[in-house]
Amino acid sequence: MNTSLLFLRYPAYRQFTTTLVFAGLCSLPIWQTPVFAQQKATEKQAASLLPPVFAVPAAEDNDNRFTMPSSVSIISRKTLEAQHLDTLGEIAHRQPNMHLTSYTHANPVITIRGLGIHVDESDSTNIPVLLDGVPVPSNFVGLLFDLDQVQVLHGPQLLEGPNGLGGLVNMHSRDPGLTAVGNVSLEYGSHNRQRATVSGDVPLSARTGLRIAIGGEQSDGDTYNRTMERKDTAGWKSTLAKLKLLHKDDAGGQWRLGLYHMNLRGGNDYFAPEYLSRRHASRVTEKGVNNTKYTLLSGSYQRQFATDTRLAVTLGASRSEWNYWLPRSLFKAQAGFDMATRELSADARLSRRMSVSDWMVGVFAQQARRDAPYRFDMSPYFTSNTQARRRGNTLALYGQAGWTFAPGWRLAAGLRIQHDRQRLNWRSNQSGYMDSNGDGIPDMPFSMTETVKNASVIKTVLLPSLTLQYHPNERHFGWIKLSRGYEAPGYNLYATKRERAQYAYLPTLANYIELGYRIRGRNAEWELGATAFSTILHDHQVVGSFKGLTVTNNAKRAHSRGLEFTGMWRPLPELELNAFAGFVNAKWDEFVLNGIDYAGQSFSTTPRQSYGLSLSWQPHFQWSLGVNVVRHGRSTLATNSDFMNKPYTLVDANVTYTNGRFAIGVYGQNLGNAHYYTRALSQNELTAGTSRNVGVRVSMNF
């Protein structure tokens, strides 16, 4: 069995990344004891300089999250590492009213309250994902790496850079520290999963620090191919790298410059009939291809002025690629695509807080281009080859004015003005043989080419919001929010016929109301929270394969409404219990397609209820223990909603022992080995969720 570490097996990256990292790490004074408490205090002080709308709620400071007028989930670095949450899908699977649909392990499509399911089929996004403030396609992100925190906001987000109808995911990478430290981590787990990371903070001056991190991972995956007698046909190999510079100038401003790269290469042996899929087995004769990679550049500047005025500017660029080819034997055809996406974005905002009033204004601009071909080749009987090139431009002005009209009461009115333009060039070649006499045997050749040139759709919308907040003291916080949600119009990039490609689907507009309240004990030894929400969707976009039919359509009316509860209790300083419950009813109210009325049918991949309970215990300063249990209710699958996913329970656990510079941790995911599915191409081709996974991690600080 080959157990060599992955990043040492890539000649293209080996010399550059290894030399770069170890040159930086060798400059660290390894005899210096890391002053972790001092570094944490420095990072906390830096975070306090950021504007409220950009501030990162620190894992040890719950105040920012507590007073956020929105349903929000915050996953700290400690939780990400201890629970081994390595993808957005694994995070989503453990949050209230959040779920996923996934072709493969590395390409999850996350949903929040039933929204977000068609991101892999359409050219609009209603759940944006940001890495250090820069948008990146969610299903291209792949493995998560060197993050400080992941923040998940539920409901329409009008006062962030990109507009989010269903919610927004903010991923914050670790900042460089101004103390020289380093870390090496090695990991081995189920399915021959191996991971190695090296990271370090290199102080360049008293006010400038550089963080360098590289990593590699490989796994055989959890599919056994019975035909090929192989266990690695759904495996992957990845390299990850990051450089991040932080500089604090004389005026109190903070400059950040980051460069991120992820390259994952894997097989695509995930789909199988139910009787095989539930056993994580397959019968195809090739492993297929599933490769994703992205390179992202981010730059930001934040400063607080003496007049309590704050400025934040973020610029970013990214390029993502996804090579997805199913095993040819799955459909007796070559099926897949080589997709590329390029994005440029800029966001700037200015805010000021005064004694009884506050205001914020911002501007956001984004340019995106996606080349989305798709090929289905059953030569000589049938061949479909489509090519779509989409270009999109977004410009938004947004702002909010708040008034503290009485002690503990604040009223805030916001407005977002957004202008979108989508352009499409599309071409389809269809050829093969047809049955001319009805005897069931194709006997007449045909060939057809259709094009759409310079199709364009433009939309400008006004999106108001009104929020009433109640915050009499540090123990109570309540809010009522009214807002107008929006998803931009666009095109179906994978249509095979001109009449479905040339017409844009309508923009989705939503009326949203949210009511929430949080209360906690005097010393934050307990906390309770409750949120009720209702979203009425008009012209809800239905894009992609729906019951086996590729459509570009709008449901006239739909809704998503429900409840979310959270609770925390610290009976002892070293023991913390957390719980959540989510309930959502997401259905079409008026939707007729091809003469079939789908009114009353639930959205796919939207369990009506989900429950979670977790325990974190540190009986000794060297030992920590965590247990997490999540129960998901019954739901249908995408893209074939005829298949029903039965309720299932995920049980995770982790134990960590620390001794000086060294730490060893043991983790387990889905310890009950629950059977569930994440995708359905048809009734007979399903993708199974991740099976039981256990592993051990050893790390050393220096």
Q: What is the mean pLDDT of residues 339-353?
A: 95
Sequence-separated (6 or more) residues with CB below 8 Å from residue 393: 365, 366, 367, 368, 420, 421
Residue 45 domain flag: no
Q: How far apart are CA 88 and CA 100, in angstroms?
A: 9
Q: How far apart are CA 371 and CA 337, in angstroms?
A: 10
Model confidence at 101: pLDDT above 60: yes
Strands 224-225 and 281-282: parallel
Which is nearest to 700 in space by CA: 116, 230, 198?
A: 198
Classify 436 as helix, strand or coil. coil
Residue 296 domain flag: yes
Residue 20 domain flag: no
Q: Which residue has the higher pLDDT, 34 or 196?
A: 196
The end-to-end CA distance of the chain, in Å, is: 31
Residue 61 domain flag: no
Residue 42 domain flag: no
pLDDT value of position 21: 38
**Mean pLDDT, the chain, whole residue set:** 87
Classify 188 as helix, strand or coil. strand
Residue 13 domain flag: no
Residue 337 domain flag: yes
Percent of the chain with pLDDT over 70: 88
Q: How confident is the model at residue 120 (pLDDT cuts 50, 70, 90)?
A: low
pTM: 0.87
Model confidence at 104: pLDDT above 60: yes
pLDDT value of position 62: 47
Sequence-separated (6 or more) residues with CB below 8 Å from residue 339: 321, 322, 323, 324, 370, 371, 372, 373
User: Residue 64: what residue type?
Assistant: N
Q: What are phi and psi of 370, to 5 degrees?
A: -130, 130
pLDDT value of position 52: 37
Q: How confident is the model at residue 141 (pLDDT cuts 50, 70, 90)?
A: confident
Each residue's pLDDT tens digit, 492-533: 888 888 888 888 889 999 999 999 999 999 888 999 999 999
What's the alpha-carbon Rg for the chain, to the nearest Å?
Answer: 25
pLDDT value of position 22: 39
What's 384's domain CATH number? 2.40.170.20
Question: Which residues span the domain enclosing 432?
Answer: 72-701
Task: Please classify residue 662 by burial: count the beta carbons closer than 10 Å to its beta carbon, then call 0-12 exposed, 13-18 middle and 19+ buried.
Answer: exposed
Which is nearest to 490 in space by CA: 457, 444, 465?
A: 457
Tally of domains within the chain: 1
pLDDT value of position 306: 80
pLDDT value of position 4: 43
Q: How far apart are CA 352 and CA 52, in angstroms?
A: 10
Residue 657 domain flag: yes
DSSP string of 591-633, one letter each residue:
-EETTEE-TTPBPTT--SEEEEEEEEEEEETTEEEEEEEEEE-
Query: Does residue 639 have a cis peptide bond before it, meaning omega lies within 30 degrees of 0?
Result: yes
